[in-house]
Amino acid sequence: MTQDLNFLTHKHNKMISIKELKVKDIDLCYEFDSNTISLWSKKQWADEFKKEGTKIVGLFFTNLVIGICVFQLVLDEAQINYFVVNKKFRKKGFGSLLMSYLIKKCEKLNLNKLLLEVSLSNVTAERFYTRFDFSTVGTRKNYYKDGSHALLKEKKLTTK
C-alpha cells in the first residue's frame, strides 16, 4: 500500500479532493451506492441527509466520486454508517485516505470515539479497520436482513 499512497500523494494529489456532500448531491450518492453495495434507496439517502448530526463526505478523483462516507455525531462519538470505495478504485490507498481524513476531522471536533458495525464475514473490511486500530467491542446477532451477525468496532481518538 505504501507504494500506492506515494503514487497518490506525489503524482495525483491535485486530482484528489474530499468534499462534504449536501442534499443536492442525493442523485450522486444514490448512483454511487447502486453501482457499489446497493445499501439504501433514494428515500433512505434523503433521510440520511435530514438526520441530526449526520455528515456525508465524498472522495473525488478529478470530478468523479470514488468513495463515500456517512457518519453521525452523537455527543462525543461518531458512528460510521456507510464507508465504501468504488470497486475499480479499491486496494490503491483511497479508503485509507478517506479514513485518515475522517479520523483527523473527528479529532479536531474533540470526539473521543469512532464506532461502526461490520459483517462478521467481511474479511476485507475487518482487515481494513484493524489497520486503523479499531477493536471489536461487541457483537450484534442477526443484525443484517439475511440473518448474519455484525461486529461492533470502536476506535479511541486522540483529542487535543
Nearer to ligand COA, 58 or 93 (CB): 93
Q: Give the nearest distance from C-beta 128 to ligand COA in angstroms.
A: 4
Largest CA distance in the chain: 45
Q: Give the nearest distance from C-beta 31 to ligand COA in angstroms.
A: 16
Query: What does DSSP say about strands 113-119 and 77-85: parallel, antiparallel, or unpaired?
Result: parallel
Q: Give the nearest distance from C-beta 160 to ligand COA in angstroms.
A: 25
Long-range pairs, 48-54, Cβ under 8 A, ≥24: 48/81, 48/82, 49/22, 49/23, 54/81
Can residue 59 be called a binding residue for ligand COA (CB under 6 A)?
A: no
Nearer to ligand COA, 115 or 125 (CB): 125
- Residue 43 neighbours by CB under 8 Å, 6+ apart: none
Q: Give the nearest distance from C-beta 84 to ligand COA in angstroms.
A: 4
Among 32, 45, 71, 94, binds ligand COA (CB under 6 A): 94
Q: Which residue is nearest to ligand COA (CB)?
A: 95
DSSP string, 34-74: HTTT----HHHHHHHHHSTTEEEEEEEETTEEEEEEEEEEE
Q: Which of residues 116-135 bind ligand COA (CB under 6 A)?
A: 116, 118, 122, 124-125, 127-128, 131
- Which of 111, 101, 116, 97 lies closest to 158, judged by CA? 111
Among 56, 78, 84, 111, binds ligand COA (CB under 6 A): 84
Chain position carrying cell 458495525: 117
Residues of this chain that interact with ligand COA (CB under 6 A) are: 1, 37, 83-85, 90-96, 116, 118, 122, 124-125, 127-128, 131
